[in-house]
Amino acid sequence: MNKKNKSLALGFGILGIIIMILPFFAGPYARIIGRAVISYMILALSWDILIRSGQLSFGLAGLFGLGGYISVILTANFGIPGLLSIVLAGVIVGIVAAVIGAAVLRLRGMYFAITTMAFGEIFKIIMHNWKSVSGGPNGKILQGALFQGDSNLGYALMLILALLVILLSEYFKRSRYHFALTAIRDNEVTAKSGGINIYTTLVFTFVVTSMVQGIAGAANSQLIGFVSPESSFNANYTLIPLAMALLGGMYGTWGPVVGAVLLGVLGEFLKLYIPYGHLVVYGLIIILVLLFMPQGIVGLIKRYLFVDTGNDPLPEEKSATKKELSENE
């Protein structure tokens, strides 16, 4: 990375840190809004990790709601502490995802997408009708929200979860899984001939991203102290993270992060003026982004601000070139 790129990366990093810690100094309302934005950011990041393989999932709301219900039921029915129930909810959602993934990850394209959406609806119907455990249509209320409703601690918890998911996304971006997922997305036949076990890689990625979505739902439900079929499985938990990832830019960590911050803040502003129509504005934004900048905002920033060093010679290549020139002289 050259000097200009390092300076720009440092500048954007500092700006990101300031934005993330700003709600701590801006009052309880800003922290609650920030908590919601981070929930969507975590969902957008986990969705982006799976889409790097080319598999489009519409099951975000289902897994988010399932995690929330499991966590609240563990606390309300079995007395398990809130933080431990969040971890257990993630594990249980991961087991459920492994069973589902083993059955449906042989499907591709819209078949897989529609199947994941259907499972979300199935979870919702189960919770709606299983009154003795889930509370039925009225949902379930905890005796007290996690941290007794302290907005500072609640925001700190979501911030820590977001940082962990960012690290997870970077691991997938920089490890061998990046090459495996990219190869599967580009051409499955070539990937298979290269020794990649497509089925195992997809199931593993689906389980990991589902656990993240379950933990996000569990943490959100513990912090508000309530779950219900309509709120926990709301379609917004699928549509808004997708819009955030598309706006920021797919196939990387920072696109969903930037998209979540921009669209999250814009969404709160729009709700004040058009409370029943802000989703229409979301839709228009996404259409314009897909038409005019398909690589998202991060792709645009990289294109016009950062210097492309992809073709720069390596240091040893530079030394060899200098030596060759000196010999010719």
Q: Three-state DSSP class for 274?
A: coil
**What are the Cα distances from residue 63, in Å, to 59, 68, 143?**
6, 9, 24
pLDDT attached to residue 316: 45
- Give the tokens for residue 305: 């601000």
pLDDT attached to residue 314: 44
What does pLDDT average to over the chain? 85
Q: What is the largest CA-CA distance in the chain?
A: 88
Q: Distance between CA atoms of 231 and 210, rounded to whole angstroms?
A: 19
Is the pLDDT confidence value at 245 over 60? yes
Q: Distance between CA atoms of 57 and 44, rounded to whole angstroms?
A: 11
**Highest mean pLDDT (candidates 23-27, 73-77, 117-121, 133-137):** 73-77
Confidence of residue 8 (pLDDT cuts 50, 70, 90): confident
**Are 45 and 165 within 8 A, CB to CB?**
yes
pLDDT attached to residue 162: 94
More confident position, 312 or 280: 280
Q: Report, as an integer, the average pLDDT of 207-235.
A: 93
- For the stretch 108-144, pLDDT in tens is 878 888 888 888 889 999 999 988 888 888 888 898 8
User: Which of 118-132, 153-167, 195-209, 272-286 is predicted with the least confidence, judged by mean pLDDT?
Assistant: 272-286
Is the pLDDT confidence value at 325 over 90? no
**Highest mean pLDDT (candidates 15-29, 50-64, 83-97):** 83-97
pLDDT attached to residue 326: 53
Q: Distance between CA atoms of 9 and 1, rounded to whole angstroms?
A: 10
- For the stretch 272-290, pLDDT in tens is 777 767 777 777 877 888 7
- Give the tokens for residue 234: 């709301």
Confidence of residue 195 (pLDDT cuts 50, 70, 90): confident
The burial of 291, by beta-carbon neighbours within 10 Å (0-12 exposed, 13-18 middle, 19 or more buried), is given as exposed
Q: Report, as an integer, the average pLDDT of 194-211.
A: 92
**Are 183 and 191 within 8 A, CB to CB?**
yes
CA 319 vs. chain centroid, Å, equals 43
What pTM does this model have? 0.88
Q: Report, as an integer, the average pLDDT of 91-102.
A: 93
pLDDT attached to residue 28: 87
